[in-house]
Amino acid sequence: MGPFTLAVDTKSSSLVSSDVSNRKIKNLQLQTKKCFASVSMEEEKPFDFLRILFEGIIAGGTAGVVVETALYPIDTIKTRLQAARGGGKIVLKGLYSGLAGNLAGVLPASALFVGVYEPTKQKLLKLFPENLSAVAHLTAGAIGGIAASLIRVPTEVVKQRMQTGQFTSASNAVHVIASKEGFKGLYAGYGSFLLRDLPFDAIQFCIYEQIRIGYKAAARRDLNDPENAIIGAFAGALTGAITTPLDVIKTRLMVQGSANQYKGIFDCVQTIIREEGPSALLKGIQPRVLWIGIGGSIFFGVLESTKRLLAERRSKPTQQSKHD
């Protein structure tokens, strides 16, 4: 009986000791989790917001300039097709007309858009449940578009007037438009611009983000640059096709100048359909889809690549400080 009793004591003591060790491990894990949560909460305060804003501005500005420079000739052809009334022919000369002046507006506009979009998206994703992430992306895209429109509209007005041969330089265009039409001339077609760009920005970024989320979940890894570019191309081309009628209306209102051929958005739609037929609302759809499809590929590819490089650069000092 003695050995049996001893065996039971040994077993119970080992169970007790394992119980204690298990409790210690669980307590340690709970403490670790609590510490991690408190650290992340501290990092998400102002510093985190400013970092997301800063990196968004850098990445957005870089992506915007690369896209605009590469695809400006296609955009010029699209604008001339949409501006031509009836069966008017388009001129294929001076396809880079107005590029320098346009880049001066594209850089801050793209930087402002992504700079507003990224922190807004992060904030909304924390407020909304996971199944409503699309709403967060749609809303963030629209808010980013409103902020960027303050720079985009004057840039677009000057660019399209130059693309249609009305002016030879951006500075001359701004001077003449402001003197003849007043400051509001630089915001000609602002309503139609928002009518086109707010749905465009919201839909494009929502499609892009949602496909990325699904793809990452299926692949169980981060996406590489070519994959981001392909998703960006699809999102851009699809959104570009859907919003072509809005783009035609916006172009007509912006390039009409002081002639005031159209009294507003609804008058513009009615006049186009009455004089040229409903198909005129799809003018320039081929170059638009091509331009925005390729543009989406380049933009999102460069955007994600730049964001990754900035994140890697940020993590290097942290790793070095840990080693020190």
What does the block give as tokens for 102? 């346009």
CA distances from 308 to 194, 303, 315 (A): 31, 9, 11
Lowest mean pLDDT among 29-33, 222-226, 245-249, 250-254: 29-33
pLDDT at 96: 85
φ and ψ of 169, to 5 deg: -145, 155
Distance (Å, rounded) from C-alpha 269 to C-alpha 195? 13
pLDDT at 207: 95
pLDDT in tens, 11-21: 444 444 455 45
Query: Coil, strand or helix: which one is 271?
Result: helix
Distance (Å, rounded) from C-alpha 50 to C-alpha 256? 41
Listed residue (228, 207, 214, 206) closest to 297, CA to CA: 228
First vs last C-alpha separation in the chain: 61
Q: What is the pTM of this model?
A: 0.69
Distance (Å, rounded) from C-alpha 48 to C-alpha 123? 11
Distance (Å, rounded) from C-alpha 321 to C-alpha 310? 18
pLDDT in tens, 112-131: 999 999 999 999 999 999 88
pLDDT in tens, 40-77: 333 444 446 777 888 888 888 889 889 888 888 888 88
Distance (Å, rounded) from C-alpha 302 to C-alpha 315? 20
Q: Cβ neighbours of residue 163 under 8 Å, at least 6 residues apart?
A: 75, 76, 79, 80, 97, 98
pLDDT at 322: 54
pLDDT at 19: 52
User: Which domains does the chain carry?
Assistant: 48-307 (1.50.40.10)
